[in-house]
Amino acid sequence: MPIQVTCPSCHTRFTVGDQHAGKTGACPKCKGPIKIPELSDQVVIHAPEHEAGAVDSKGRSVLKPIKRKETRFNTTVFAVVAGLVVLGIAVAWLVGNSDMGDNQNWVLAVGAILIGPVIAYAGYFFLRDDELGAYEGSGLIVRSLSCGLVYALLWGVYMFLGTQLFSTEDWQVGLSIVQILGLCVPILGMGTLAAFASFDLDPATGFFHYALYLLVTIGLRLIMGLSLLPGMA
């Protein structure tokens, strides 16, 4: 192993072979006398066996971030969710082709409530960030129920704001695009906030989570032969 040598006169650094250990020679630069260190005098620095800092009972550093366990996608759950969506489409088609009169509004309300938790649960599987960890088990079910019910309630908020801001004649004739947008913007904001509060989704992901519910419910409205949105001609 080469020996690192520093001249005490001119401070030039160079290396010599270990066969010269303990010998005296001349500096190649200033020609001053130099005593080559013994091999036993060499200091060898070894890499630490463990990282600095506190460790847990398994020897892992407690200062390093540990990824949370990824929740694996459940095929059975996905099949159940898909089946419920298909069932909802079938029910919407039957309702749209039957004369329910004033009861249709109640059917819409019940349908929005029932499908809300299902879409919230399914949408979370598609939009969650596994690097940050995922909710699972009963906790996920409770959060999906809460989020889905809020999503359904927002349809009621939409109707309430519409009736308070616009006249009955406007509703019968059909709201303008500007009026529709004025109703949708606060609803979208509240839906995004609900997704954030329920699943800790970032604002952009929370928006898409709520938009997924809107797309499904609007699609069911179209299957029933209704307008895209309430109040739209």
Contact partners, residue 117, CB within 8 Å, separation at least 6: 144, 145, 147, 148, 149
Q: Residue 80 in contact with residue 144, Cβ under 8 Å?
A: no
Q: How confident is the model at residue 71 (pLDDT cuts 50, 70, 90)?
A: very low
pLDDT at 195: 93
Q: Which two tokens stand for residue 155?
A: 């349809």
Look at residue 153 and tell me whether its pLDDT is greater than 90. Answer: yes
Look at residue 67 and tell me whether its pLDDT is greater than 50. Answer: no
- Domain range list for the chain: 3-41, 75-223
Q: Residue 201 in contact with residue 209, Cβ under 8 Å?
A: yes
Q: Which two tokens stand for residue 35?
A: 């005593």
Weakest mean pLDDT among 22-26, 96-100, 122-126: 96-100
Q: How confident is the model at residue 207 (pLDDT cuts 50, 70, 90)?
A: very high
Question: Has this prediction a pTM greater than 0.75?
Answer: no
Q: How confident is the model at residue 70 (pLDDT cuts 50, 70, 90)?
A: very low
pLDDT tens figures, 172-195: 788 888 888 989 999 999 999 999
Q: In this structure, which long-range contacts are made by residues 49-58, counting pairs with CB atoms below 8 Å and at least 24 apart in sequence?
A: none
Highest mean pLDDT: which of 54-63, 97-106, 141-150, 220-229?
141-150
Rounded Cα distance between 208 and 214, Å, is 10
Mean pLDDT of the chain, nearest integer: 77
pLDDT at 193: 94
Weakest mean pLDDT among 15-19, 56-60, 148-152: 56-60
Q: Residue 195 in contact with residue 201, Cβ under 8 Å?
A: yes
pLDDT tens figures, 9-29: 887 887 777 777 778 888 878
pLDDT at 68: 44
